[in-house]
Structure 1
Amino acid sequence: MTVATEETRVLHLFQRVASLEAVAHADNLRGEQRRDILDAVRQAVRECEPVRITIAAQLLNLSRKTVEAWVREGLLTVAAGNHKRLVLDPERLHEVLHLVRDLRSRGRDRNLIEAVWYRLNDQALTDREDFTESIEQMQRGEGRIVRSGEAP
């Protein structure tokens, strides 16, 4: 497959995914319909071939050098497997693409690397079971407040 063909396929896939996500967030959908659409989105991204750096740069509207820096910093991850070139994991790319679009929609276009890094770290924390359980305990009024310097 030529680079141009690969680029066209990946760009079209991500455009279709974005269109499906927009439909999934429509107000007139029931929860199960929304879940079904979003499951289809996740499956489509999961089935995507690893993405070249140049294509990821286009999707993110960043330079190739910036995308390479984001890979070095761990924001974007290299696809698993033996590949002849540096290619990215499409699921992580999709996740980062959402964060970048959200930040830009809020007027943030500078220092995106830090903002994306903080968002990914926040998401990793909220995805932890022990954190979720602690929040639920706090909401139920369980436990006690421990201030700095106090013995537990």
Structure 2
Amino acid sequence: MSHQHLTASQLQLHSLENSTTTTAHKECTRHIKWGHLIQSLNSMGTAISHDCAFDYEETSLCDPHHLANMVDHDAILLVDIVKKTETMYKKNPNPKKFIEALHHTHHTLSNCVHHSDNAENEPVTTCFNKLEAFLKKKSQSHCAWEIINAKVREVLQRLEKRSVRRRR
């Protein structure tokens, strides 16, 4: 009987931890200026050109829907997405405004979420390894960056929608 009671207590504690994490996540995402972040990315282009569409390899890139779903359960993943996006875009020839927006977002999230900069989260790492491998394979070409911009934009838009939905 006490074993069942202990299990019930553990379940209550787990539920409380998840509730606290969800509340913290809501508060953190509330402070992100999603519109500014997406607009600064859009300043580098908003679509994949017809010429570049032939380079698009959907299966070799990560799934933004899956990544956004993972973030729903762990706000720390959001910090990693922003950090890895910032690192990847430092290789881009024209990302100044976007990097500044990412840096501001990373700073905002870091003040809100307790996160070790050394922590690696497998879903985020796997996604960004695929994106960086694609860039390398395509020699960081203009077309490769158009495709990466489209993928990153889709991730950010999905995260923004989830953030707005959580506020209600």
* TM-score with structure 1 setting the length: 0.25
Bigger-Rg structure (1/2): 1
Higher helix share: 2
TM-score normalised by structure 2 residue count: 0.24
More relative contact order, 1 or 2 (CA 8 Å, 6+ apart): 2
